[in-house]
Chain A
């Protein structure tokens, strides 16, 4: 959970840093190109792309003020990417600014097709969703769709229920990725639903945002991974996203209970061993995180030191390239 007091004090300073990556260091972070699976795009041209910030993580007013002051245009994101050595990435629709209006994301990924692949957000059970996925896969180089939210009173995540079956079936047909951000208390139970969906839709690459929020301060022995997290190991079509946001959350959670932050290198090595480095991807969450994006990217790269060169390249680039494919990966070859 975001702990407001932890960022309020430094929010302005950090937001400034986030908007203006430091100049000077031109050496890339890693000896290979990176693929950023988690960048958010939004503009302050609000007349053309009106905000729908009612669901904003930090509150609508604050979100809009932030977006007006520091829009995440392609130019802004590319400045960071260039500094980090990011070759390309997925633009992840940002619920906090636009809800399910994907116009800006689709426009910037059309204008910068060599660097941005769109991952849209659509209502998982809407009857229009399957058709939009097909249309955008055909016309807009769609790479995936993202579903987020918490469980309902019955403990069920709507986007993992039968009601979302049509959207899943289309993604399965096209070989689109489905990016999932599970929130709230029901995450362990939700992961059992993820496992069932992974089995039912084997041609969907399921990407778990922020590794579904492990809590090392609660379960130190397993680096915060519940049995449900761990039982997913071995499912061929489930992938795990390591992000700056995850690191900042683990930091805030540890601080809140007066414990030291989990060491990132053992953490990353542990998830690489558990799930296989070829099932890990990486993303900055730039445009959302309120921490220094360069510093946190550097931490991720440094935490991967000690893995083989091939494993590191898989984590920071190759797996993402393989699962985020314009228009989908197509039908699974038998």
Chain B
């Protein structure tokens, strides 16, 4: 039996566009197109079964469904022991803290994702306005893990700002999506940068991989962990650098308890779920057995407190 994986980053897209219509993240943005593919809860759970993935976070696809988290909530209701919903909400809305508390209380939400809408939006209100700070406070009060995605062009100022915020909420688990280094640039933002005439900087070489000048500032904040996804693997392809080397470096820099894996299924389309699972395990090849287990499963299980949260026996 292969080792179990915990997929911390799976996106779902329903095949029922009437029930779950696309919605924009902001009223000034166009309604998103329907995607030409779907990843239903049933499909994901089947893949999870096939590749020994007991648990997955289902992360809201903001650029498809906006702030309407209905589909991931419905999916988690159908598979409560397998799927953990991670919602995206409007951090600027005054009702969001109360809405988030209700989602945790009544609907089994297990995490919040913060995301800026576009690389060209350079303001930081989405993560640090007074309204957004109230959302952070709510997450801290609940002990609700926060995941955050930072665009490549914004790493130099968003990461230090995140560092300030992290230190305000000790104990709150925070997951930086796609590692938070230059190896985490998504195809969308690379396309935007090309269109905007911004030349692509070369990927920082080993042994540092650009860690020191980006997420290196989180060395002293153990509640911040880093998520390796297919986005990173896409950047690595063609460089000749193995993901296992990068993961080894992250583990050496921060400790193996601070790195975890997510497939990015439902958004990253280059590889099948089978390939993603194989690549996740291969990315652990330079880790010791105990470290491997942490990276591919146990860190996520700890942060989302799922398979280990068991109480009592027979009455």
Contacts and interface: CB of A to CB of B under 8 A. Distances in A.
A183 B80 CA distance: 15
A95 B106 CA distance: 29
B311 A183 contact: yes
Contacts of B310: 1, 184-185, 187, 213, 215
Nearest to B101: A231
Contacts of A182: 311-312
Interface residues of A, number: 43
A182 B79 CA distance: 19
Contact of A57 (B101, B141, B315): B315
A51 to B, nearest CB: 15
A172 B302 CA distance: 38
Given A228-B104, A228-B105, A230-B142, A218 B314 contact: no
Contact of A192 (B106, B302, B305): B106
Contact of B108 (A56, A228, A235): A228
A333 to B, nearest CB: 26
B255 interface: no
Nearest to A96: B315
Contact of A56 (B105, B172, B308, B314): B314
Interface string B93-113: 000000001001111111000
A237 interface: no
A232 B141 CA distance: 12
A181 interface: yes
B307 interface: yes
A182 to B, nearest CB: 7
B25 to A, nearest CB: 24
A226 interface: yes
B81 A227 contact: no
B143 interface: yes
Contact of B80 (A154, A221, A232): A154
Contacts of B296: none
A291 to B, nearest CB: 15
Interface string A34-74: 00000000000000000000011100000000000000000
A189 B106 CA distance: 9
Given A1-B313, A215-B308, A226-B143, 16 more contacts: A57-B313, A181-B312, A184-B311, A187-B310, A187-B311, A192-B105, A192-B107, A195-B106, A210-B311, A215-B309, A225-B143, A226-B305, A228-B104, A231-B101, A231-B142, A232-B105
**Can you list the 5 inter-chain pairs with the closest CB atoms, starting with the nearest?**
A213-B311, A155-B80, A221-B171, A231-B105, A222-B143
24 contacts: A1-B311, A57-B314, A183-B315, A184-B310, A185-B309, A186-B81, A187-B309, A187-B310, A188-B306, A189-B108, A192-B104, A195-B105, A199-B106, A215-B305, A215-B310, A218-B308, A218-B309, A227-B104, A227-B109, A227-B144, A228-B105, A230-B141, A232-B105, A235-B105
